[in-house]
Amino acid sequence: MSLSTISRFIILLALVMIALAGFFPSPLMIGLAATSSALLVLSQTYVILRDDQATAANETEGPYAGYSQK
């Protein structure tokens, strides 16, 4: 499974759990909604950090290495 598929699944899971916690406000549903939201945040952080590392690894010095990019 690719990261985008996993990310979409976790977003859907978090939204479903939050909606169910709104309809059935039991401690279990609130805990599941909080857990899925935390999982969503952690997975998105991982994706962002992985993308940042991928672009940093591909940077090479070119003829304009001393100039700032705008």
Mean pLDDT of 46-61: 65
Is 28 a domain residue? Answer: yes
Provide the pLDDT for residue 22.
84
Q: Do residues 18 and 39 make contact, with C-beta atoms less than 8 angstroms apart?
A: no
pLDDT at 70 over 80: no
> Is 38 part of any domain?
yes
The residue segments making up the domain with residue 46 are: 8-55
Query: What local confidence, expressed as pLDDT, does residue 60 receive?
Result: 61
Contact 40, 11 (CB under 8 A): yes
Distance separating alpha carbons of residues 21 and 14, to the nearest angstrom? 10
Instruction: Count up the domains in the chain and report the number.
Output: 1
- Asked whether residue 46 is domain-assigned, the answer is yes
Looking at per-residue confidence, does 2 or 18 come out higher?
18
The CA angle 56-62-63, to the nearest 5 degrees, is 155
- With 0-12 / 13-18 / 19 or more C-beta atoms within 10 angstroms meaning exposed / middle / buried, residue 55 is exposed
pTM of the model: 0.55
* Higher-pLDDT residue of 3, 31: 31
